[in-house]
Amino acid sequence: MLERIDFGARVAEFDRIVSSFGANNGMVEGLGDSFDDEGFSEFVNNNSIILNEMNNGETALEPITLVVDVFEDQNDGNASNGLSLRDAIIIAHRDPARQYIIQLAAGTYNLTIEGREDFRFQEQVGTPAETEGVEGDDGQEEEQEETVDEGENGGGDNGGENQDDTDNGDNGNGEEEAAPDSVLGLFDNTVLRTGDLDINTRVTIVGEDPSNTIIDASALGDRIFDIKEGGNLILENVTLQGGLTQGTFAEGGPIEQSLDPDSFLGGAIRVLQNGELTVNNSILQENTAGWDGESSPANVNGGAIANLLGTVQINNSIIRNNQSEVNGGGIFNNGAMTINNSAIIGNDANVRTFYVDQVEGGGGIWHSGGSLTILNTTIAQNRALLAGFKAVNPTNPNNDAFAGGGGILIDLVNEGGPGEVIIVNSTIVDNDAELGSGILSNGDLEGILIRNSIVARNTGSPDIEGFFSVNSSSNLVGNGNGLIVNGVNGNIAGGINNPVDPLLGTFDGAGFYPLLEGSPAINTGNNTSIEQVSIFEEILRDQRGLTRIVNGNVDIGSFEFGADNVEPENIAPSLETANTIVPVNTNNGIGQAFFSFFI
């Protein structure tokens, strides 16, 4: 009978070794020079039972911090040649029960190892997949009291014989089928080692400052992060740039297969169902959701971020100079999203195709279902453009096409169905579109609520068009188009012949427009509206982090005039940062026009 495993001792040794992955050039005390890539793989295989035990929550685990010390893209999965960002993520996925904190020093981390998902074996940990030509190691015997699923792994013999419930696995040259309950499989050897950085576990990436800590995918030809179901990514103090979606083949491979429509989502980050993303004090710039011009354009959304039934929080951050070749130049949301103390600036939705009975666009944000809450945020200088479009299923002989929602396009009818949009103390100005230059809403009357916000000075069409809640209150709308009426619910609204001027100062490098003395937005907001928004911390501060409610009443918009001269909190990074980086030149230069605004 085999000797029983001492789980306590194994876990302690596992902790000691894993904690050393990011240090000492990969050398681990007790393992000597043998802890190279091959030695690491053997270590992981030998500890699969421990990993499963941890994954079942039977062992309390502390977060592990990995310190990245090389800027080039490496995928050996250890620190023997220095620890790269990709290496650190590979390591984090080998231990999915634990939170990993990846620290980045100042510098530019260039992602260069190409490999689009249509040529990779397995989409997520624990998903059965078959591959050819996987070399197996010699077998070994271990005992465990828990049930281990059976899997066949090719023509060799690498099966552990376990008493009680036995796992007989063959692993050699031939096909491999990963056990569904396994946390190992081929995931780190295939999906993680090339292309975008997939997130299936809990990872926090912390840079020094977004002005000097940059993750650049301009040489990758792919997005930067892909958050899978159940994955959780927190980004702090970093800049993401150069991401590009080009489409990948649907399951089944590239031969005689159509491109996966979801593969066009999210130029920098894609968040899939039940995935979670938090962006703190960071910049996402010069990313592109590209389109091949032939596949269905329905999912060419989100130049920077695409949220497909996940949860996203954006705090104190800047989304700028991104583009989509159909919808959502900056952001696409079809999940739960909150945006706080941030700036959505200079993004383009270059609508290259359209459905005749629908309006496409959303230069800054395209929202198509779920919930969207925006507080203390500036949405400005975004555009929804028609750019060499073609009609899809045209029923109108004139092929009429419209690009709408220069700042925000809300489509709760044609796309995502019921949803809720709440916009409080935000400034939506200087956007451009043929319909709804500031906000275009295609939704139910009660689902879209705007309070204490400026929507003015947008060009190409009225500032707002569509449907809005009758409870929208205390807003300043340059041209309300009759939808928000002057004097009703405290709203200040003009018309096409007499638009209201909010008296804004020059656009600031930190991402906001100051109110000038005498602005009709000063002290005309509703204090109750902002006090009721309890989902954010520090809710009584403006976009700069300065105290709200000066002289009795809150101001309308993201800027509080005459705010106390106190130490700012929750400040978004300056728009002047990270501009020494050469802009990404993709898709024939479309969407580069706004870059000069920030130099």
Let me know if 580 is exposed, middle or buried by CB neighbors in 10 A (0-12, 13-18, 19+).
exposed
**Whole-angstrom distance, CA of residue 20 vs CA of residue 37:** 14
Give the β-pairing of 378-380 and 343-345: parallel
Mean pLDDT of 542-559: 92
∠ Cα 131 39 154 (to 5°)? 25
Close Cβ partners of 497 (under 8 Å, ≥ 6 residues apart):
none
Of 115-129, 201-215, 244-258, 305-319, least confident by mean pLDDT is 115-129
| pLDDT at position 99 | 94
| pLDDT at position 569 | 59
**Looking at this protein, which amino acid is placed at residue 330?**
G
| pLDDT at position 510 | 81
Tokens (6 digits) for 576: 């002047």
**Whole-angstrom distance, CA of residue 46 vs CA of residue 42:** 6
| SS3 (DSSP) at 226 | strand
User: Model confidence over 338-389: pLDDT tens digits?
Assistant: 999 999 999 999 876 555 556 788 999 999 889 999 999 999 999 998 765 4
Contact in structure between 426 and 374 (CB atoms under 8 Å): yes
Residue predicted with more confidence, 52 or 470: 470
Of 334-338, 432-436, 551-555, 570-574, least confident by mean pLDDT is 570-574
| pLDDT at position 291 | 65
**Whole-angstrom distance, CA of residue 51 vs CA of residue 415:** 41
Close Cβ partners of 405 (under 8 Å, ≥ 6 residues apart):
349, 359, 361, 362, 363, 365, 366, 384, 433, 435, 436, 439, 440
The residues that bridge with 515 in the sheet, in sequence order, are 504
Contact in structure between 514 and 559 (CB atoms under 8 Å): yes
At residue 110, φ and ψ (nearest 5 deg) are -90, 120
Beta strand residue intervals within 356-456, DSSP E: 360-361, 365-375, 378-380, 383-392, 403-404, 408-411, 419-424, 427-429, 439-442, 448-451, 454-456
The shares of helix, strand and coil residues in the chain, as percent rounded to the nearest 5, are: 10, 30, 60
Contact in structure between 561 and 581 (CB atoms under 8 Å): no
| pLDDT at position 539 | 52
| pLDDT at position 96 | 85
Mean pLDDT of 114-131: 43
**Whole-angstrom distance, CA of residue 223 vs CA of residue 207:** 19
Which residue from 421, 378, 354, 119 is spatially nearest to 252, judged by alpha carbons? 119
Residue 417: band (very low, low, confident or very high) from pLDDT cuts 50, 70, 90:
low
Residue 420: band (very low, low, confident or very high) from pLDDT cuts 50, 70, 90:
confident
**Whole-angstrom distance, CA of residue 174 vs CA of residue 191:** 19
Close Cβ partners of 272 (under 8 Å, ≥ 6 residues apart):
226, 227, 228, 229, 231, 262, 308, 309, 310
At residue 84, φ and ψ (nearest 5 deg) are -90, 170
| pLDDT at position 45 | 52
At residue 210, φ and ψ (nearest 5 deg) are -65, -20
**Whole-angstrom distance, CA of residue 349 vs CA of residue 590:** 10
| pLDDT at position 473 | 96
Tokens (6 digits) for 258: 């159509």
Residue 530, pLDDT above cutoff 90: no
Contact in structure between 223 and 244 (CB atoms under 8 Å): yes
Work out the end-to-end distance of the chain between its first and last CA atoms, rounded to an integer number of angstroms.
Answer: 72
Residue predicted with more confidence, 391 or 569: 569
Residue 74, pLDDT above cutoff 90: yes
User: Model confidence over 253-308: pLDDT tens digits?
Assistant: 333 344 455 667 889 999 999 999 999 999 999 999 876 556 555 567 889 999 99
Tokens (6 digits) for 492: 């200040």
306-334 per-residue burial string, b: 16 or more CB within 10 A, e: under 16 = bbbbbbbbbbbbbbbbbbbbbbbbbbbbb
Which residue from 187, 57, 196 is spatially nearest to 122, judged by alpha carbons? 187
Mean pLDDT, the chain, integer: 74
Mean pLDDT of 120-126: 36
Which residue from 488, 491, 445, 486 is spatially nearest to 469, judged by alpha carbons? 445
Residue 194, pLDDT above cutoff 80: no
Of 118-132, 135-149, 306-320, 584-598, least confident by mean pLDDT is 584-598
| pLDDT at position 143 | 32
**Whole-angstrom distance, CA of residue 185 vs CA of residue 476:** 56
Counting Cα atoms < 13 Å in the Cβ hemisphere of 11 gives 17
∠ Cα 388 390 396 (to 5°)? 130
Mean pLDDT of 210-238: 96
What is the percentage of the chain residues whose pLDDT exceeds 70?
61
Residue 496, pLDDT above cutoff 70: yes
**Whole-angstrom distance, CA of residue 134 vs CA of residue 154:** 8
**Whole-angstrom distance, CA of residue 265 vs CA of residue 261:** 8
Tokens (6 digits) for 554: 């809150």
**Looking at this protein, which amino acid is placed at residue 154?**
G
| pLDDT at position 298 | 56
| SS3 (DSSP) at 263 | helix
Contact in structure between 479 and 496 (CB atoms under 8 Å): yes
Domain ranges of the chain: 1-121+185-207
| pLDDT at position 381 | 96
Of 19-28, 154-163, 279-288, least confident by mean pLDDT is 154-163
Mean pLDDT of 20-39: 47
| pLDDT at position 34 | 43
Which residue from 195, 199, 370 is spatially nearest to 277, judged by alpha carbons? 199
Residue 483: band (very low, low, confident or very high) from pLDDT cuts 50, 70, 90:
confident
Residue 55, pLDDT above cutoff 90: no
User: Model confidence over 377-411: pLDDT tens digits?
Assistant: 999 999 998 765 444 444 444 545 678 899 999 98
Let me know if 358 is exposed, middle or buried by CB neighbors in 10 A (0-12, 13-18, 19+).
middle
